[in-house]
């Protein structure tokens, strides 16, 4: 009934780690290569839910744009834009907020997690899952690529779409989630393989960032926590540390895990770490070169965002006209 459309957002945070790249950006590039209808938003309004520094935010928006382009996102094939440039997001957020309840939002795990040590909780932090639902629904999105940590947030978007449709008439498709087909879809912290690699981890040695230099990558991988077995074998449950390194290695070399393990026969995990570090560095180098190339051309980046914003604005405005009409506005 509704044509297939994929929407995803990424916050303009300073540095992206390999987990974000593998779990999100690389998937978008794949969808772009499959000629899917993809809309990608740099969700700057979401970055304001916690106290922020305006200068850093505007810098981060440009850096994220350069990063996405450097990773292979083609602005002629996907709609790439800045969320705050398109008014439909906040307008639809209000409309959906009026059919949602405080109780529903209070139960969402990310809110509980982020607000647990706060004395005064910003209203935006509480409301942001609705903004996220609006991001998705404003484009009549049918598919949303997500990590498993975000499934409940998408359920809110699905519920709001259903509620809106049943009260005001069929307007929104119920968005489905697409989970990644990657073999090792979730990278783990290098310091504690029981946790996922995350930018919120206070220890920078727990992750590999896209902008890390040679020394950082080698140091962090050398220090990666493994176990007391010296062979290189793949066993994500029993040996999460070394399996995580194999996952990273497999991703950057596009080699199947079995081939990697065969090639690593006879070397120990200490030696293997150097092989992985080498592979990661050679993989990142051209990406880093492209990112710095784009970063030198601020006008081009702004132009990419402006053109993307126009396209996103047209699509969402058409949908908002329908929404307003449904609501009697
Ligand atoms: P972080 O935990 O670093 O703050 P986010 O929660 O902001 O990352 O997620 C941004 C995107 O990156 C999401 O699509 C998420 O699924 C993906 N992602 C985050 N961490 C990982 C990871 N360790 N492995 C794979 N994908 C990840
Ligand atoms: Na996070």
* Cα gap 77→37, rounded to integer Å: 8
Distance 22 CA to ligand 1 centre (A): 9
Distance 229 CA to ligand 2 centre (A): 32
Separation of first and last alpha carbons in the chain = 26
| Number of CB atoms found within 10 A of residue 2's CB | 12
Rounded to two decimals, the ipTM of the complex is: 0.94
Tokens for 222, please give them. Answer: 């050398």
Strand ranges for 130-252 from DSSP E: 143-145, 176-178
Tokens for 153, please give them. Answer: 């947030």
Whether residue 23 has its Cβ less than 6 Å from ligand 1 = yes
Angle ∠(220,64,80) on CA atoms, nearest 5: 140
| Number of CB atoms found within 10 A of residue 142's CB | 20
Strand partners, 8: 40
Give me the catalytic one of 30, 55, 112, 114: 114
* Cα gap 273→242, rounded to integer Å: 9
Nearest ligand to the CA of 186 is 1
Closest residue to atom 2 of ligand 1, CA basis: 198
**Measured CA distances, 230 to 88, 258, 269, 271, 275 (Å):** 55, 17, 5, 10, 15
Distance 255 CA to ligand 1 centre (A): 23
| Environment class of 172 (CB within 10 Å of its CB; exposed 0-12, middle 13-18, buried 19+) | buried
Distance 198 CA to ligand 2 centre (A): 7
Closest residue to atom 18 of ligand 1, CA basis: 20
pLDDT per residue of the chain (329 residues) written in tens, 0 to 9: 899 999 999 999 878 999 999 989 999 999 999 999 999 999 999 999 988 999 999 999 999 999 999 999 999 999 999 999 999 999 999 999 999 999 999 988 888 888 888 888 999 999 999 999 999 999 999 999 987 667 777 899 999 999 999 999 999 999 999 876 554 578 999 999 999 999 889 999 999 999 999 999 999 999 999 999 999 999 999 999 999 999 999 999 999 999 999 999 999 999 999 999 999 999 999 999 999 999 999 999 999 999 999 999 999 999 999 999 999 99
* Contact (Cβ atoms closer than 8 angstroms) between residue 5 and residue 37: yes
Which pairing describes strands 79-82 and 6-10: parallel, antiparallel, or unpaired?
A: unpaired
Whether residue 19 has its Cβ less than 6 Å from ligand 1 = yes
Give the global pTM. Answer: 0.94
Query: Pick from 108, 170, 145: which is nearest to 26 by CA?
Result: 145
Does 254 qualify as catalytic in the annotation? no
Closest residue to atom 8 of ligand 1, CA basis: 198
Q: Which domains does the chain have, with CATH numbers?
A: 6-183+298-327 (3.40.50.620), 204-292 (1.10.240.10)
Does 30 qualify as catalytic in the annotation? no
Helix segments in the chain, DSSP class H: 18-20, 26-33, 54-70, 88-97, 102-106, 109-115, 123-137, 151-168, 214-222, 240-253, 257-263, 269-295, 298-327
């Amino acid at each position: 009934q509704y044509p297939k459309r994929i929407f995803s957002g990424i916050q303009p945070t300073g540095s992206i780690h390999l987990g974000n790249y593998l779990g999100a950006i690389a998937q978008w590039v794949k969808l772009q290569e499959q000629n899917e209808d993809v809309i990608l938003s740099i969700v700057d309004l979401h970055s304001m839910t916690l106290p922020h520094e305006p200068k850093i935010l505007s810098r981060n928006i440009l850096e994220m744009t350069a990063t996405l382009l450097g990773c292979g996102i083609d602005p002629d094939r996907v709609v790439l834009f800045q969320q705050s440039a398109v008014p439909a997001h906040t307008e639809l957020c209000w409309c959906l907020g009026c059919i949602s309840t405080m109780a529903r939002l209070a139960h969402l795990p990310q809110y509980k997690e982020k607000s647990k040590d706060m004395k005064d909780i910003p209203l935006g932090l509480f409301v942001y899952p609705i903004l996220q639902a609006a991001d998705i629904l404003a484009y009549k999105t049918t598919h949303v690529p997500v990590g498993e940590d975000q499934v409940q947030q998408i359920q809110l978007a699905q519920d709001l779409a259903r509620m809106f449709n049943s009260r005001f008439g069929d307007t929104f498709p119920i968005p489905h989630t697409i989970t990644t087909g990657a073999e090792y879809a979730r990278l783990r912290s290098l310091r504690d393989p029981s946790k996922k690699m995350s930018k919120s981890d206070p220890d920078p040695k727990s992750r590999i960032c896209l902008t890390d230099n040679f020394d950082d990558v080698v140091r962090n991988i050398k220090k990666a926590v493994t176990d007391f077995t010296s062979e290189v074998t793949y066993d994500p449950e029993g040996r999460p540390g070394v399996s995580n390194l194999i996952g990273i290695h497999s991703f950057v070399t596009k080699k199947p895990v079995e081939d990697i393990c065969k090639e690593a026969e006879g070397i120990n995990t200490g030696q293997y770490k150097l092989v992985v570090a080498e592979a990661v560095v050679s993989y990142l180098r051209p990406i880093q070169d492209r990112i710095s190339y784009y970063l030198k051309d601020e006008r081009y980046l702004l132009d990419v965002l402006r053109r993307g914003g126009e396209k996103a604005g047209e699509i969402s405005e058409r949908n908002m006209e329908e929404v307003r009409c449904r609501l009697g506005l």
